Structure 1
Amino acid sequence: MIRPLFDYNWQVRADWMKWCEELPYEELVKPRFGGMKSILHNLYHVVYCEHIWVSQLLGIDVNIQPIEKIRTLADIRAFEAMTRERTLQWFEKETVLNDAVLDLRGRQFSHIKVMMHIATHEVHHIGQLSVWSRELGLAPVNCDLLPRDVEFLNIEK
């Protein structure tokens, strides 16, 4: 049920990475208002959060670099590939984990709710990239779900 939202986010994220390839490095790291304060760090942040949450759901070690050490799109792409593998591991176990609960500092959250949080969190930060792209006088990535190749099969109404 949640997988299509991740497929959507991964497509949009890849499009933003490609969009960023056209920017001078100075624009990628330039301090900005809101979000994670730069385009580069905003992209890293969404992958970082996915990695941390999914690792906790799977009960495996978090394997991250501090945001200050992220200097290039290649750094983010490598981290994103590792993170996506972890997320796909969770989806492989989804039937077992559907009713599982994550205990976080005395609060309990279902795995499904955490995965929904990850998906919507990314949408929020991708919106910030759209605002910054317009500030640069550039068209943002088209984030419209309808024309994207994302299947929503077997979802209850």
Structure 2
Amino acid sequence: MIDLFLYNWQVRDDWFEWCKSLPEEELHAERKGGMGSLFQNLVHIIDCELLWMKDLIKDPVTYEPREMISTLEDIIVYSDFTKDVTQHALSTWNDGIENRSIQITSRNGKVHSFTYEKVIKHLITHEVHHIGQLSVWAREIGRKPVSSDLIARGYE
């Protein structure tokens, strides 16, 4: 499954490059759906990846400057940090680990159990979902979105 993370990260990095050509106000402009802006959608994708990875590796990894993220460059640094955490977690992946379970307590206090495999699949599809929202917003402002064509990117 690491190949799908690599694919998502490549698409994410291409979106970062795409965003560099936008005026700052367009990056933060309020949008319908998603997390409300291009900027917040990108932060949300990374937040969720780090949150779930911390649960899987059972390590209280923190990104100290998280509350200070205010620029696209800040998001890129945060993304790189999170990729390192994820790559480390996935490098220790072995047969049988996908069947391990983690328990997550929701905001309402209910405990949920998920297999590692389900969490990884969720992370992969979660990013694809939010990248799709970026594509819709790109078209709404008259710009061509980043291609997320898995085949054209050479992934199998």
* TM-score w.r.t. length of structure 1: 0.89
Q: Does 1:125 align with 2:130?
A: yes
Question: Residues 8-157 of structure 1: matches in 2 within 5 Å?
Answer: 8-64=7-63, 65-66=66-67, 69-95=68-94, 97-105=97-105, 106-150=111-155, 152=156
Deviation at 1:62, TM superposition (A): 4.0
AA paired with 2:14? D
Does the CA-based 8 Å contact 1:130-1:140 persist in structure 2? yes
Q: Secondary structure at the match of 1:140?
A: coil
Q: CA separation in 2, counterparts of 1:47 and 1:63?
A: 13
Deviation at 1:123, TM superposition (A): 0.6
Does the CA-based 8 Å contact 1:41-1:70 persist in structure 2? no
Q: CA separation in 1, counterparts of 2:77 and 2:154?
A: 24
Q: CA separation in 1, counterparts of 2:91 and 2:3?
A: 14
Q: CA separation in 2, counterparts of 1:60 and 1:4?
A: 24
Query: What 5-or-longer segments of structure 2 have no aligned partner?
Result: 106-110
Q: CA separation in 2, counterparts of 1:98 and 1:137?
A: 42
Q: Secondary structure at the match of 1:147?
A: coil
Number of aligned positions between the proteins: 148
Q: Which runs of 4+ in 1 moved over 2 A?
A: 96-99
Query: What 5-or-longer segments of structure 1 have no aligned partner?
Result: 153-157
Deviation at 1:70, TM superposition (A): 2.4
Deviation at 1:89, TM superposition (A): 1.2
Q: CA separation in 2, counterparts of 1:73 and 1:24?
A: 11
AA paired with 2:103? D
Deviation at 1:37, TM superposition (A): 0.6
Q: CA separation in 1, counterparts of 2:31 and 2:72?
A: 18
Deviation at 1:99, TM superposition (A): 2.5
